[in-house]
Amino acid sequence: MPEEAELAPIPEHPALDLRWPSGAASTVVVADLHLGLGAPEVGRGGPSEALARAMAHDLVAIGQERRAAGFLVVGDVKHPIVGVPRALRPVVFDFFSTLLAEGFSVEVILGNHDVGLAAALPREVIVHGPAGIVRGGAGFFHGHRWPSNRVLRARRLVVGHLHPGYRFAPTAATPAAKERCWVRAERPPPPRSKRRRRRPVVAAEEVIVLPAFNPLAGAESLNRERPARGRSFLVARFLAGGSSRAYLLDGTDLGEVLNRPARPRGPAAVRAPTGP
């Protein structure tokens, strides 16, 4: 039986440590880099390049601190959805070259923003399709489309895509009043049935949603609003039905989120009048 790795959030960072009990070098897992966020369509230079360099150096520092062997990026490496604009190509290439130059291996699982990404990457970067991969007994996929059956059979799942956040009262330090957070969902085991199921069974007992690594990527206010349209698939099929809790990057437990009862069907689902 393959060795099962441990999954541990890295304190104060939107990154997960995939650690092996045998003592082998770990892998740092991140999601939603969104390289090129805020970049102009035409021209070179600007804040997006500086942010990409800063994120690359942050990752190198995290990897060296954890004595990691490499990095796994769980989707949305770049921000433009289709293709890589000419001005963004050297930004993407230099970002990964910085990691590779420090001796780290790098793997990428494609997200919904990563159409055409592979051509802009150094050839040493290993690219996986959006159906995801299994490592150390855990399944990893971005979260915008259905994963492979092998990933679905994993006891633990790690996803990105949702950009989880928590809304607080505005302060001078956080004028946007949102902070990135983790989400950890505990799921009951699927009921046993001899009947053929019309939908694939999600076997995971635990689902971890990674915060966006890019601090400018925006965040869903999980305590104030429903996740944006198009992301409900991840919530409805992988997070609902269990117990989900949110945690700040420093480990502060923010309590339950996303634990909403299923909507009623039929006549009971008709909305009651709200007043005159």
* pLDDT cut 90: percent of the chain above it: 58
Domain ranges of the chain: 6-191+199-260
The pair of three-digit structure tokens given for residue 39, joined into one six-digit string: 């970049």
CB atoms within 10 A of CB 25: 14
pLDDT band, very low/low/confident/very high, at 237 (cuts 50, 70, 90): confident
Distance between the two ends of the chain, CA-based, in angstroms? 64
Which position has the token pair 């159409």?
Answer: 115
| Domain 6-191+199-260 architecture | 4-Layer Sandwich (3.60)
Residue, of 259 and 265, whose pLDDT is higher: 259
pLDDT score at 228: 59
Residue, of 44 and 188, whose pLDDT is higher: 188
Stretch (H or E) spanning 246: strand 243-248
- DSSP class of 91: H
